[in-house]
Amino acid sequence: MPAEWEPHLATYIVWPHNLDTWPGNFDPIPGVFARMAAAIASSEPLRVIVKDAEEIERVRAMIRDAAEDDRVAARVELIHLETNDSWVRDHGPIFVNRIDDRAEGPPQIALDWKFNSWGEKYGAFDLDDVVPRRLGARYGFEVIQPGIVLEGGSIDPNGAGSLLTTESCLLNRNRNPHLSRAEIEDYLKTFLGVVNVLWLGDGIAGDDTDGHVDDLARFVSRDTVVTVVENDPADVNYKVLKDNLARLRAMRDERGAPLRIETLPMPAPLMYEGARLPASYANFYIANGAIVMPTFDCPADSAAAATLGRLFPGRRVIGVPSRELVWGLGSIHCLTQQHPAPNPVDRS
C-alpha cells in the first residue's frame, strides 16, 4: 500500500446527504464540503460521488464557486452512485500496487474490505459496503475482497513496509471477533504488503470509530511520524495521548531504526450537546500539491499549520473550517480516499 504522500491519480469524496450524520446542523455542511473539494482539486483530480443524480449540477456549481478558478473546477468529476453516508475513507477502495513488474496481473488492485458501520453502530450500510466494487466497474480497476472488516481510517502506512494502527479499533470484538491479534497482523501483511505492524493504544475522546489512528498519529515520511499531544493534565485526552507518544518513541521502522517523532497540538475542546467531539489536527489529508487541514477557530490552528508546512515543504497547507464538520464525528481525512498512481515508485 503506497503512502498517502505518493502521487495520486485522483481523490474520492462522497457529497453529504445523510441528515442524521450532522443532527440539527446539516445546513452548513455542503458549503464546507465545497471548500474541501476546491482545496483538493487545486492540486489533483477529484471524483465526487453524488447520491441524487438531480443534485449533480447544483453540486458542481457549489464547488465551482468555492474554487473561484475554472482550472480547478475542470479537475472535478461528478459521479452518480448511491451511498448511505459520506465516510469514504472507511468504506471506499484501498489500493495496493505491485512492486514486481514481472508478476502476472494488473499493476494495481483495489481492496474491498468488509464495512460494518464501525461495529454496526448506526443504520444501513449496505450501499457503502459495495462502493469499491461499483467504482471498480466504472473505472476498470480490479477489486478483490480480503474477507474481514477493516476501515481505511484505522491504518496508516509509510509505503515501505511499516503500518500504524490501534489496539482499541482492530482488536475490538465488534469487528472480527474470530481473529486473534496475530491473525489480524497476517491479513495486514498479506494484503497490504507490510512487514512491520506498529500498535498504538486507545483513541481520542468522542471517536465513535473505537480509536482510528488517523485522529492520533500519521506517517509524514518513511521514518517520521507526527502525533497529537495534549498538554493539559486535566484534559480527558492527556493520558491516552501521553501513552501513545511513549509507544511511538519505543517503536522501530521496518529497518529496525527508531522513528523520528514530531508533534501537533490538540485544538481547544469542542462539545456538542454535552459530549466531547473528536477534533484533531492529525485528520489532515495529503493531496499531490497540498495539505488539506481541519481548522477549529482556535489559537492552535496556526501552530498546527506551521508544523505541517514544515513537514511538507513542497505542499501548500490549506485550512478548511471544521467546527461544524466534526459534529458528524469525523473530519477531512475521514471524508477522503486517495487513488494512488498505479506504477511502482522508487522508495529509496
Give catalytic residues, as residue numbers: 334
Environment class of 251 (CB within 10 Å of its CB; exposed 0-12, middle 13-18, buried 19+): middle
State the Cα torsion 220-223-226-231 to the nearest 10°: -170
Please, what is the end-to-end C-alpha distance for the chain in angstroms?
A: 16
Largest CA distance in the chain: 57
Collapsing DSSP to helix, strand or coil, 70 comes out as helix
Contact 270, 197 (CB under 8 A): no
Collapsing DSSP to helix, strand or coil, 169 comes out as helix
Collapsing DSSP to helix, strand or coil, 146 comes out as coil
Which residue matches cell numbers 477534533?
279
DSSP one-letter code for 215: G
Residue 185 has a CB neighbour count (10 Å cut-off) of 18
CA atoms of 121 and 47, how far apart (whole Å): 28
3-state secondary structure 122-138: CCCCHHHHCHHHHHHHH
Exposure pattern of 214-239 as b/e (b: 16+ CB <10 Å)?
A: bbbbbbbbbbebbbbebeeeebebee
